[in-house]
Amino acid sequence: MLGYSNPRVLQIFENSDIEYRHFWADPNTFSPDETPDQRYARYADGAMHLACLAARKALSASGTRADEIGAIFTATCTGYVCPDLSSRLVGHLGLRSDVQRGALLGHGCAGAMPLLQRASDFALTHPGQKALAIAVEVCSAAYFIDHGSLETVVGNAICADGAAAVIVESANEDGSKTCGESIYPKVLAFQSHIDPENLDKVGFTQEEGKLRIILAAEIRDLAGPMIEKCLQGILQPHGLRREDIRFWVLHPGGRKVIDAASKYLGLGEEEIRYSRQVLRNFGNMSSPTALFVLESVVNSGRPKRGDLGVMMALGPGFAAEGALLRW
C-alpha cells in the first residue's frame, strides 16, 4: 500500500517514533500512483470534511454560536481550491453572510502562527467579535514516490492528515479566558525570523503535476540557530529569560528535529513531552500540529494563571515562527 518494499526504507518508517497516523483515504482504493486529478479531488473533499469537524468541535467546546463568528481564517499548504476553503466553509458552518474571510497558503508546518496572528489582529481591532482559525492539511495528497530521494521517503514516513481549529477573541479585563475547568492562554506577541538564503530547503515543488516534498537534510543543523534567533526576538522585548518559560509548545517536525531543537534550547524530556506525544499519536500533520500540541498542554490541567509559554514552528521561507503565551 505504501509503495515501498526496500527493507532500509521501511526501517525509516519503523524508527520514526510514530505509532499512529490518520489519512483521508479509502484503504481499499488508495494508491501512491494516483493521478493529479485524483489527488486534487481527495484534497478538496478531505480538507472540507476535516475543517468542518475541527471547526464544529471548537465552536461546541467554547460555547460559541456560528453567528457569533466575525471572521474565518484558514491555513493550508497541501492543496489549492478556488473559491478558497474559508469561503466554502461559510455555508457549511452556517456563518453570517457578512463574515470576513482570509486564506493563508504555503506556510507549511509553521502555518499555525501566522494563522493565529491574523485571527488575533481581527480580535484586537473588533472588540466583542470572535475569529475562527482553522489549519487543515491532507499531506497524503502530496505522497510522492521517488525511490532515489531520501527526503521524499522521510516525508512519506512522518507526515499525516489532520485539522485543528481555535476560537480567538479579546481577553477579559484580567487577561484570562476560561472554558469549563480549562484555562486558555492569551497571546502576548508574535515573532518571525526568515532566512531567504535557505528558501530551497523546505517546501513543495511540482513534478509530473503532483506536489513533491522538499525536506533537505540540512534542516537539522539549521533548526537550532533559527529557533534561537526567533526566541530572542520573543523574550528580549519583554525582559524574559528561558527560565521564565514554563511550557514549550514546539511543532514536532520529526524525531530528529525535536531532538535538535531540545538540545539547542537546553530543554529536558519533561519540557518537550507534549510535542513527542503528538508526534507519536498523530505524526506530522504540517500546519495543524502545533495547535495539537497546544491543546495537549491546555488539556493537561497543568497551566496556572500567570504561567508563560512559547509556541514555535519551522516552515518554508525558510522561517521560524513563534508566539509568546500567558495563561
Rounded distance, CA 290 to CA 262, Å? 15
Pull the grid cell for residue 158: 512522518
Whether the model clears a pTM of 0.85, i.e. scores above it, the answer is: yes
Binned at pLDDT 50, 70 and 90, residue 2 comes out as: low
Final residue in a domain of this structure, among 169, 199, 228: 169
> pLDDT tens digit string along 166-219?
999 986 655 555 555 567 899 999 999 999 999 898 999 998 889 999 888 887
Side chain identity at residue 192, one-letter code: S
Count CA atoms closer than 13 A to 34's CA, side-chain side. 24
Between 32 and 284, whose confidence is greater? Answer: 284
Residue where a domain terminates, one of 148, 169, 190? 169
pLDDT band, residue 253 (cuts 50/70/90): confident
| 116, 133 Cβ separation under 8 angstroms | yes
- Per DSSP bridges, beta strands 186-194 and 182-184 are unpaired
Contact 118, 102 (CB under 8 A): yes
- Answer yes or no: is pLDDT of 115 > 90: yes
Rounded percentage of the chain residues whose pLDDT exceeds 70: 94
36 has pLDDT over 90: yes
64 to each of 10, 90, 133, 176, 266, how far by Cα in Å? 45, 15, 13, 17, 40
Amino acid 172: pLDDT: 60
Domains contained in the chain, number: 2
Contacts of 259 (CB under 8 A, 6+ apart): none
Residues 236 and 252 in one domain: yes
- The tens digit of pLDDT for each residue in 57-76 reads 999 999 999 999 999 999 99
Enumerate the β-bridge partners of residue 136: 163
* Residue 255: CATH number of its domain: 3.40.47.10
- pLDDT tens sequence across 140-158: 999 888 866 888 888 888 9
More confident site: 6 or 37: 37
Same domain for 184 and 284?
A: yes
Domain containing residue 290: 177-326
Q: What pLDDT score was predicted for residue 147?
A: 66
Strand order in the sheet with 130-138: 100-105, 69-76, 130-138, 161-169
- Which are the catalytic amino acids? 109
The secondary structure of residue 103, as a DSSP letter, is E
Do 228 and 84 fall into the same domain? no
Question: Considering 169, 203, 228, which residue would you say is the last residue of a domain?
Answer: 169
